[in-house]
Chains A and B, each alone.
Chain A
Amino acid sequence: MVTTEDLKMKLIDGLGLEDIEVAEIGDEMELFGDDGLGLDSVDAIEITLIVEKEFGVKIKDAGEQSGVFSTPNSLVAYINENK
């Protein structure tokens, strides 16, 4: 079972978010866009690679990505459902 803490640590490492602590990323914080973590389309591709490499879950559809991958909570739920 993957936790949001596991995911956040992998995102911080994989995306090079060197100045952000796990505790600073809320479970319901938007990953993309101006109001949350501020990630962009390049990070989105990186996240799909991280999720596949670290958790063995493939993301095949960008449509899926925009809904399910909006927050750490929704992303973890997707990973656990598809693991």
Chain B
Amino acid sequence: MRIYDMDTKQYVDFCKVENPITKVEQLSHALYCYENEVFDIIYDKAQPALRAHVKSFGEEFLKQDGMQFLYFTSGTTGTPTGVYKTKENSKKQAWALIDTLPKDMKFNRIVTTVPFVHIYGVDIGGVVAREMNIDVWVKENFLPEELAIEAQVEGTLIVTTPLFIKALNRVKKDVKFKNSYFLTSTAPLSTDDAKEFAGHYKSSVMQLFASTETGMMAYKVDDETVLRAYDCVEIGESDNMLNISSPFVAKRVLNKTIQDVKFPFQTEDIVEMLSEHKFKLLGRSSNLAKVAGKRISTLQIENIVESLENVECALVKVRKDEKALRDEVLDIYVESSVEIKSKDLKTALKKVFGSMHIVFKLYNNMLITKSSVGKKIGFKEKN
């Protein structure tokens, strides 16, 4: 298995990279660590707040025997949660996915559009290719037109996001991808978009339902609405929320301290159970938005808004627009003594999230209503 750098048009070896920035460097380094069982902390170093968070613990403290990777996900309280994964977690997960791929297709390469700073990129883009022993093709910036060219090549497994499926639907190229297969991440892809894609391009999209903590849980293909749990994933529910026991679930998590994960792992996904291995996803109980493929807590955004001068209170709601490439927009309601400018908020967000573009609409002159215990429950316009 090799990494093919599509920008420089050459193969790249797995190697240790001190400060991996490009996608090729990120993948080369992650696979070097995976291959040699070297522990590594994988996160988006372009996010200043996350960089500071990691630094605050110190790399020596974070290093755990027997663990392969430490990933980070946005915690529901706004503080990042570290998630420890073993090599076994990733390897078993890769094989569970490989076993669900169409048996009548033979794959000879993976083409990825995703970065390798989170579990989806590394485990699905990298480890799956490693376990299948096929090359992985990486490009720093993909355009829909370019992906369309690659997807016409027989035996290509494409690891991408719903963004590209929607973009390809919009360009409606007069080509077929019948000998390729698409995998997309957990971000929602509507059944209409999946159906349109499969119909126009004569290809299929397998949507993986996963999280950093649980690893892969279930999948569905094209316009299916029911998720099928992987064979070795036991699913259950508590208060309509999904819980999971599987070999892919993280062994330890890092909040203020490092703790072992208790099984079954309780998610915040609201589900309707249909049978032992099937369920429908109804929604998410926590206030998490998906921005550029990363989960961001709305509480974290509220804290940032409230840190601005003259802001008394802020409430953030996630608005979904399935037709847009970016399917989640933040509506930010602000109670303040003066009008808050978008530019000032952007500057504050940039200090925490770096260059990640967070799309929001700001509503000034609001009064945030609270419950008797101080929980924000709504908003109304100030008189």
Chain A interface residues (CB < 8 Å from chain B): 16, 18-20, 33-34, 38-46, 48-49, 52-53, 58-63, 65-66
Bound CA–CA A43/B354 (angstroms): 16
Chain B interface residues (CB < 8 Å from chain A): 7, 139-146, 163-164, 167, 170-171, 292, 324-326, 329, 342-343, 346, 350, 354-357, 359, 361-362
| Cβ of B202 to closest chain A Cβ, rounded Å | 22
When the two chains form their complex, are residues B357 and A49 in contact, meaning their CB atoms are under 8 A apart? Answer: no
Once A and B bind, how many residue pairs between them come within 8 Å at the CB atom?
70
Question: Which residue of the partner chain, among B143, B355, B359, B361, contacts A45 with CB atoms under 8 Å?
Answer: B143
When the two chains form their complex, are residues A45 and B167 in contact, meaning their CB atoms are under 8 A apart? Answer: yes
Given A38-B355, A38-B357, A40-B357; A66-B141 close (CB under 8 Å): yes
Bound CA–CA A14/B257 (angstroms): 44
Name B321's closest neighbour in chain A (CB-CB): A16
When the two chains form their complex, are residues A42 and B163 in contact, meaning their CB atoms are under 8 A apart? Answer: yes
22 A–B pairs (Cβ distance < 8 Å), ordered by A: A16-B329, A18-B361, A19-B342, A34-B355, A38-B350, A42-B292, A42-B325, A42-B326, A43-B357, A45-B163, A48-B144, A49-B167, A49-B170, A49-B171, A52-B171, A59-B145, A61-B143, A61-B145, A62-B140, A62-B143, A62-B146, A66-B141
Task: Kindly list chain B residues whose C-beta atoms are within 8 Å of the C-beta of A20.
Answer: 342
| Cβ of B240 to closest chain A Cβ, rounded Å | 32
When the two chains form their complex, are residues B171 and A42 in contact, meaning their CB atoms are under 8 A apart? Answer: no
| Cβ of B161 to closest chain A Cβ, rounded Å | 9
When the two chains form their complex, are residues A48 and B355 in contact, meaning their CB atoms are under 8 A apart? Answer: no
Bound CA–CA A49/B257 (angstroms): 46
Bound CA–CA A58/B346 (angstroms): 31
Name B341's closest neighbour in chain A (CB-CB): A19
Given A42-B326, A43-B357; A49-B144 close (CB under 8 Å): yes
Task: Kindly list chain B residues whose C-beta atoms are within 8 Å of the C-beta of A18.
Answer: 361
| Cβ of B147 to closest chain A Cβ, rounded Å | 10
When the two chains form their complex, are residues A59 and B143 in contact, meaning their CB atoms are under 8 A apart? Answer: yes
Bound CA–CA A48/B141 (angstroms): 12
When the two chains form their complex, are residues B357 and A62 in contact, meaning their CB atoms are under 8 A apart? Answer: no
When the two chains form their complex, are residues A41 and B141 in contact, meaning their CB atoms are under 8 A apart? Answer: yes
When the two chains form their complex, are residues A62 and B142 in contact, meaning their CB atoms are under 8 A apart? Answer: yes
Given A45-B163, A49-B170, A49-B171; A60-B357 close (CB under 8 Å): no
Question: Which residue of the partner chain, among A19, A39, A41, A65, contacts B362 with CB atoms under 8 Å?
Answer: A19
Name A32's closest neighbour in chain B (CB-CB): B355
Bound CA–CA A43/B167 (angstroms): 11
Task: Kindly list chain A residues whose C-beta atoms are within 8 Å of the C-beta of B361.
Answer: 18-19
Task: Kindly list chain A residues whose C-beta atoms are within 8 Å of the C-beta of B356.
Answer: 40
Bound CA–CA A18/B360 (angstroms): 9
| Cβ of B168 to closest chain A Cβ, rounded Å | 10
| Cβ of A31 to closest chain B Cβ, rounded Å | 11
Given A45-B167, A49-B171; A38-B145 close (CB under 8 Å): no
When the two chains form their complex, are residues A65 and B143 in contact, meaning their CB atoms are under 8 A apart? Answer: yes
Task: Kindly list chain A residues whose C-beta atoms are within 8 Å of the C-beta of B164.
Answer: 45
Bound CA–CA A16/B359 (angstroms): 8
Name B345's closest neighbour in chain A (CB-CB): A19
When the two chains form their complex, are residues B145 and A65 in contact, meaning their CB atoms are under 8 A apart? Answer: no
Closest A-B pairs by Cβ, 9 of them: A19-B342, A62-B141, A40-B357, A60-B145, A62-B143, A45-B167, A34-B355, A46-B325, A48-B143
Bound CA–CA A39/B357 (angstroms): 6
Bound CA–CA A40/B143 (angstroms): 13
Name B115's closest neighbour in chain A (CB-CB): A41
| Cβ of B96 to closest chain A Cβ, rounded Å | 29
Bound CA–CA A33/B46 (angstroms): 11
| Cβ of A37 to closest chain B Cβ, rounded Å | 9
Task: Kindly list chain A residues whose C-beta atoms are within 8 Å of the C-beta of B139.
Answer: 62
Task: Kindly list chain A residues whose C-beta atoms are within 8 Å of the C-beta of B326.
Answer: 16, 42, 46
| Cβ of A46 to closest chain B Cβ, rounded Å | 5
Name A35's closest neighbour in chain B (CB-CB): B355
| Cβ of A12 to closest chain B Cβ, rounded Å | 13
Bound CA–CA A58/B143 (angstroms): 11
Task: Kindly list chain A residues whose C-beta atoms are within 8 Å of the C-beta of B171.
Answer: 49, 52
Bound CA–CA A41/B248 (angstroms): 30
Name B291's closest neighbour in chain A (CB-CB): A42
| Cβ of B9 to closest chain A Cβ, rounded Å | 11
Bound CA–CA A49/B147 (angstroms): 14
| Contacts beyond the supplied A40-B355, A62-B140, A62-B142: 15 A-B pairs with Cβ under 8 Å | A18-B361, A34-B350, A42-B325, A42-B326, A44-B141, A45-B143, A45-B164, A46-B325, A46-B326, A49-B167, A49-B171, A60-B146, A61-B145, A61-B146, A63-B7
